[in-house]
Structure 1
């Protein structure tokens, strides 16, 4: 039986008759116009009015096995959000398409034992036949307009797939982002797969072929740690979460400002273009909101799990036709110069047509082209953007929006200033020297500088050595690689309370006062500073600035490294304090913890080492942050410990493999193929010249010849396998 709970203030609800459509008219708001707003990026962001009412729209075909779980999670999240402040309430609007006998059962199970003061009320809107995701969302929004009791400015609309399950804190983590600035139209959290082990989406973006994509889709969670759970609802003193500024959000599970949805729709039209049915309808809405100078945010601390394809995976031919056709139609309506953009999109379609990834793709692509022509002949998008967008705007990278620093309560114990992480693998001698130096500098047990050692593999136990230096020892039981171990340590040290994380190699020795200098400099850093690069020197005293403080590699630099040339180096003379550094080495690097967490930490695909620090620096620069040089903090660095342990053959295989991987991630598959070919040709040339030169890294000419021959022939040298110990 369908339960309807009354509002918390005792007023009666205003339900629509069951199975009766509210129509397309703006019921109850025909004369209400959305208020004017400040475009994003013009002046100081203006806070919006507090949000008091949430309209949670769930379109369903009744076929998802997750429907009951999805509704239960939304009700729990809405109840928690409503309990955080007086006067809040929520509507759960379920739009059932076709015969859905299980929907009533799912709603009853979601509401549980009804309470008279339950702030969450429910409405079931029945549609006789499937109409598509866009039409179902519009129908739910129209129902919400009739049921809403709060003004338009105090409403937020949540669209959640029937195969998505949100966490209980989902609403209360997302709503403050909309309340913080009236120029933000939409916000979503981190969406994972059904198992919660991989990223399904982190906002919307476009690749170089102008295909819309879920950012970070398919990657591991890395440093996206699950936020600590709390039984108490959030209040006004809760620390705001940081966010990512993205092009748009996915309607899989997202919040929209009600006024922004009204702005995005043309007179007499609805926010979602129903001609698109499913796929790209949320991309189309995101582009129109971007054309209206609205912003979109992603809050990684808000989580949802998604069983992707629960309702569309059974008909791949229809999916292909909708994806390819809707993509071309949306791009034609949104681009400022659609000719070049569509040419790029069609080039990718032709590649898929020649080498289709599945048997039905070729026919689906042709049908999609015909569908795009049909949509364009019928007119533009619903409302159209206020201004058309450039290709650069479509391909913009996410930018970080750091949260304001929390003020500790009076009498609270002092938090750590810098949390230090040491990634160790088979370098016991270097680690022993580092821990001895740590004790010699009276840093052992200092609450301002907690030390954590992540052991990727060792020949002898490290427990007693770490305990003597006051260090925490983390033993994951397998080799996570440098990036994976750093992320593992980052998650394990969240309780330290330190806003900055110092990543160290075990062959590093801090000079007296180095950590104190880093902590003092970090306190004065503006928000756009992602981290600090301390001064590194050889044991003989010679500075390592040329190797340490490099610029980010360009295409020509990557090709030079593929040919065993050094590429661009850093400055020969040490730069002054505060100089911006594009790509500091991660042998000793201080990074803002929040920036690392918002980006998901280091990329664990660069296994076991090399180029993960280059990739991190590039992503931080894309996000609008930079590193600064801090020569007041000095460290002694003994290079080459890991290379000597690996051996020249395995080092060469791993280094060049990650070089090609970085080239592909930054510049595409075609350029990565060029880099890979250059590696093999250069290895062959270096092999032929080996009798005339003495190897620098290899122990002897025989070892160098074997490694270069394997590289030239494209053979895999014996390398460290993920999860292994060697």
Structure 2
């Protein structure tokens, strides 16, 4: 029987999180319509081995770490479901959350996808992580140059995170995080999937949502579909300097692709912004990581004229 939904989980050294995710899927009222596909990016911690014998999941092992976008696209090409649900390994399912998400999205003829509500272990929505407006040049400068508390609490910037919306009701959203992202399979494939240039991670979901928006395709937030999300484990697997270099390098790539005139300035401002953050960093380790990331990005710009070599 053809599944209605293909769940795609990209794994890289997630420890016991992956197994907990797959096991919690059994809380779904009707698991028979689900296809679970796990793509392992050459993990070395045995996390993929923990679910290798699970008959409810299809495990695809890659020979090297190809990054999130490439791994997700690999599974999406083979998926049989009419819908794709991309989930991070550090997700725990609540009873019938997938059924609620599907009902909330498929009941809207204009929707090609959406997301549930990511919550922490205490049940609190992750308001400053999950839902965002697509980034504009103004937001890019604010994110780079303003302190975090100013970005989060400023009136105009609170709008970026949909803080002014009622999170107990569904609404259209521009850019849900790929930690929980439901998309119609045909729409995803017509777009060509995730852009694999955003490697190994970060901003591939922003870019995909921008391309959906350019085609006037809608995404919806479904608050009663709740997914418990740990968050942050991918970044914790990298050194602070590595994470900062990748994140800001991919930010430069995004603005180069979608705001090319602005990106000429932005690429040169990013190292400056990182050095400014280093000057007020609370710890020597944080200061060192910011300076190292700034140096790496300056070297790339100097040697290649762009953000990435």
* Length-normalised TM-score, structure 1: 0.38
> What is the Cα deviation at residue 477 of structure 1?
1.1
| Counterpart secondary structure, 1:541 | coil
Residue pair 1:536, 1:543 contacting (<8 A) in 2 also: yes
2:32 to 442, 447, 451: 447
Q: What do the CA deviations read for 1:129-149 (whole angstroms, capped 9, x no partner)?
A: xxxxxxxxxxxxxxxxxxxxx
Q: Which residue of 1 aligns with 2:106?
A: 523
Distance 1:522 1:682, change over 3 A: closer
Distance 1:658 1:689, change over 3 A: same
Q: What do the CA deviations read for 1:530-557 (whole angstroms, capped 9, x no partner)?
A: 2021111111111123421211111110
Q: Which residue of 1 aligns with 2:303?
A: none
Q: Which residue of 1 aligns with 2:85?
A: 502
> What is the Cα deviation at residue 578 of structure 1?
3.5
2:51 to 465, 487, 498: 465
| Counterpart secondary structure, 1:502 | strand
Residue pair 1:482, 1:608 contacting (<8 A) in 2 also: yes
Q: Which residue of 1 aligns with 2:242?
A: 650
Q: Which residue of 2 aligns with 1:144?
A: none
Q: What do the CA deviations read for 1:58-79 (whole angstroms, capped 9, x no partner)?
A: xxxxxxxxxxxxxxxxxxxxxx
Distance 1:440 1:447, change over 3 A: closer
1:422 aligned to 2:13? no
Distance 1:680 1:715, change over 3 A: closer
Residue pair 1:576, 1:629 contacting (<8 A) in 2 also: no
Q: Which residue of 2 aligns with 1:487?
A: 73
Following the alignment from structure 2 to structure 1, what is the Cα–Cα distance between the partners of residues 37 and 58? Answer: 5
1:686 aligned to 2:277? yes
Q: What pairs with 1:144-159 in structure 2 (closer than 5 Å)?
A: none
Distance 1:715 1:547, change over 3 A: closer
Residue pair 2:29, 2:96 contacting (<8 A) in 1 also: no
| Counterpart secondary structure, 1:646 | coil
Q: What pairs with 1:242-641 in structure 2 (closer than 5 Å)?
A: 413=1, 415-439=2-26, 441=28, 446-461=31-46, 462-468=48-54, 470-493=56-79, 496=80, 498-526=81-109, 528-563=110-145, 565=148, 566=151, 568-571=160-163, 574-641=166-233
> What is the Cα deviation at residue 677 of structure 1?
2.2
Distance 1:646 1:521, change over 3 A: same
Q: Which residue of 1 aligns with 2:289?
A: 707
Where does structure 1 lack aligned partners over 5 or more consecutive residues? Answer: 1-412, 694-700, 718-726
Following the alignment from structure 1 to structure 2, what is the Cα–Cα distance between the partners of residues 715 and 533? Answer: 33
Q: What do the CA deviations read for 1:340-394 (whole angstroms, capped 9, x no partner)?
A: xxxxxxxxxxxxxxxxxxxxxxxxxxxxxxxxxxxxxxxxxxxxxxxxxxxxxxx
Residue pair 1:439, 1:469 contacting (<8 A) in 2 also: no
* Length-normalised TM-score, structure 2: 0.86
Q: What pairs with 1:77-116 in structure 2 (closer than 5 Å)?
A: none
> What is the Cα deviation at residue 515 of structure 1?
1.2
Residue pair 2:27, 2:93 contacting (<8 A) in 1 also: no
Q: What do the CA deviations read for 1:541-576 (whole angstroms, capped 9, x no partner)?
A: 111234212111111101222226545322255435
Following the alignment from structure 2 to structure 1, what is the Cα–Cα distance between the partners of residues 293 and 238? Answer: 16
| Counterpart secondary structure, 1:552 | coil
Following the alignment from structure 2 to structure 1, what is the Cα–Cα distance between the partners of residues 74 and 229? Answer: 24
> What is the Cα deviation at residue 673 of structure 1?
2.8
> What is the Cα deviation at residue 488 of structure 1?
0.5
Residue pair 1:547, 1:570 contacting (<8 A) in 2 also: no
Following the alignment from structure 1 to structure 2, what is the Cα–Cα distance between the partners of residues 459 and 713? Answer: 30
| Counterpart secondary structure, 1:468 | coil
Following the alignment from structure 2 to structure 1, what is the Cα–Cα distance between the partners of residues 117 and 176? Answer: 10
Q: Which residue of 2 aligns with 1:78?
A: none
Following the alignment from structure 1 to structure 2, what is the Cα–Cα distance between the partners of residues 429 and 543? Answer: 23
Q: Which residue of 2 aligns with 1:674?
A: 265
CA-atom RMSD, angstroms? 2.1
Residue pair 2:6, 2:35 contacting (<8 A) in 1 also: yes
Following the alignment from structure 1 to structure 2, what is the Cα–Cα distance between the partners of residues 617 and 454? Answer: 22
Following the alignment from structure 1 to structure 2, what is the Cα–Cα distance between the partners of residues 630 and 456? Answer: 30
Distance 1:645 1:460, change over 3 A: closer
| Counterpart secondary structure, 1:660 | helix
Following the alignment from structure 1 to structure 2, what is the Cα–Cα distance between the partners of residues 674 and 574? Answer: 36
> What is the Cα deviation at residue 439 of structure 1?
3.7
Count of matched residue pairs: 288
> What is the Cα deviation at residue 639 of structure 1?
1.2
| Counterpart secondary structure, 1:428 | coil
Following the alignment from structure 1 to structure 2, what is the Cα–Cα distance between the partners of residues 545 and 709? Answer: 29
The structure with the largest alpha-carbon Rg is 1
Residue pair 1:423, 1:456 contacting (<8 A) in 2 also: yes
In terms of fraction of residues, the more helix-rich structure is 2
Q: Which residue of 2 aligns with 1:191?
A: none
